[in-house]
Structure 1
Amino acid sequence: MNRNQVLPQVELSADPSALHRVDFCAPQSYKGAGFLAISAMPRLAEEVSSIDAGDGFHWQVDTYFTDSPGSEPHQILQLRLKGRLHLLCQRCLQDSAFDLAEERQFVMVATEAEADAYPIEDDQQEPLVASQHFDLLELIEDEILLSLPLIPKHPEGACEAHASSFGENGAEDDELEKPENPFNVLKNMKKSS
């Protein structure tokens, strides 16, 4: 590829179905942005506790080629994600809104072997195997799923106590529900002998 050659730039469609097949093997760069509703990402939809109006993610993709000394130029993919979803707080078991903003950079490689050989020390960009039918929507969904908190919780002090989890009367309910001590039977047997 000639260093002075200007590559065409293709505008990606914001339609989720168009993101399933992007040709990253073609000598062209891509640019695009759009909004993805939670319903467009089925694996993510399984994780959320509820879906409010406006829940989803704005995405932006830009690709460009960099010169690599002694080899073909590499295509770099920059992905930006910003959005909101609702998860179940593990502290109070109530719905909680989570805002996510992520930026990732990937280098497109030709084969799985190249991806496996890519230096692990380079934490600025991950390798992705380019294909003529690259599923960009799946990559976006993967990155959102990887960004979710392991244990979703409200910020400290923001949880509301749920009446059904603690009971209405508090200590009074505890006294009513105390089980009888099983050793009382043995104590009574010893007294009678």
Structure 2
Amino acid sequence: MKHNQVLLQVELSIEPNALKKVDFCAPQSYQGTGFLSISDLPRVAEEASTIIPGDGFDWSVKTHFEDSPGSEPHQILDLGLKGRLHLVCQRCLQGCAIDLDEKCRFVLVLADVEADAYPIEDEKQEPLVVNQHFNLLETIEDEVLLSLPLIPKHPDGFCEPHTSTFGDEEGEVAANEHENPFNILKNMKKN
């Protein structure tokens, strides 16, 4: 690719099915914005405790070519995600809204070998293997899933930890029934 070459700027479709086949191998750059509902992202929908109309993610994509010393320019993909998903709070076991606002940067490569050779210490961007029929929708869904908290919970002070359904008396009876196995050793030492 020549440095003075003007690249075609392609506007991405907002239709989820159109995002399943994007030709990132063509010498052109892409940009686009849209909204994906939870139903457009089936793996994300499996994680949701409740799906409320209007829940989903605004996405934005922009690619550009960046010079790389000693080699051809690399294509860079900037992905932005912003939206809401309802999960189960692990403290109170009630539904809680999780708001995501993520920005990711990828360097687009054509083969796994290139991705494997990419420096691990580069935390600003990670390699993404692309082809002529790249599934951008799947990558968006992957990034949403990776952005979810490991332990979803309400902000501190919003909810109380989930307590056992057993009453106090039942809990005490259950504790007394399970005698400490080391009491036998304690009694042996006394004798």
State the TM-score bracket (shorter-chain normalisation).
0.7 to 0.9
Distance (whole Å) between structure 1 residues aligned to residue 149 and residue 106 of structure 2: 22
Report the AA paired with residue 33 of structure 2: A
CA deviations 1:129-172 (Å, max 9, x no partner) are: 1200110000000001001000111111111577xx556xx9xx
**Change over 3 Å in CA distance of 1:8–1:161 after alignment to 2:** same
Contact 2:66/2:74 (CA < 8 Å) preserved in 1? yes
Give how far 1:69 is off. 2.2
Distance (whole Å) between structure 1 residues aligned to residue 68 and residue 146 of structure 2: 30
Query: Which residue matches 2:131?
Result: 131
Q: Tell me which structure has the larger Cα radius of gyration.
A: 1
Distance (whole Å) between structure 1 residues aligned to residue 111 and residue 32 of structure 2: 25
Report the AA paired with residue 10 of structure 1: V
Is 2:19 the partner of 1:19? yes
Query: Which residue matches 2:183?
Result: none
Contact 2:91/2:161 (CA < 8 Å) preserved in 1? no
Distance (whole Å) between structure 1 residues aligned to residue 91 and residue 139 of structure 2: 30
**Number of aligned positions between the proteins:** 177
Contact 2:74/2:108 (CA < 8 Å) preserved in 1? yes
Aligned runs of 1:1-193 on 2, under 5 Å? 1-159=1-159, 173-175=167-169, 178-179=173-174, 181=177
Regions of 4+ moved over 4 Å? none
Report the AA paired with residue 135 of structure 2: D
Give how far 1:70 is off. 2.1
Report the AA paired with residue 97 of structure 1: A
Match of 1:144, SS? Answer: helix
Report the AA paired with residue 80 of structure 1: G
Cα RMSD (Å) of the superposition? 1.8
**Change over 3 Å in CA distance of 1:3–1:47 after alignment to 2:** same
Distance (whole Å) between structure 2 residues aligned to residue 53 and residue 2 of structure 1: 48
Match of 2:57, SS? Answer: strand
Report the AA paired with residue 42 of structure 1: P
Report the AA paired with residue 146 of structure 1: L
**Change over 3 Å in CA distance of 1:109–1:182 after alignment to 2:** closer
Give how far 1:175 is off. 2.2
| TM-score, scaled relative to structure 1 | 0.86
Distance (whole Å) between structure 2 residues aligned to residue 129 and residue 182 of structure 1: 57
Distance (whole Å) between structure 1 residues aligned to residue 178 and residue 55 of structure 2: 53
Query: Which residue matches 2:185?
Result: none
User: Where do 5+ consecutive residues of structure 1 fail to align?
Assistant: 184-193
Distance (whole Å) between structure 2 residues aligned to residue 181 and residue 137 of structure 1: 56
| TM-score, scaled relative to structure 2 | 0.87
- Amino-acid identity (%): 66
User: Where do 5+ consecutive residues of structure 2 fail to align?
Assistant: 180-191
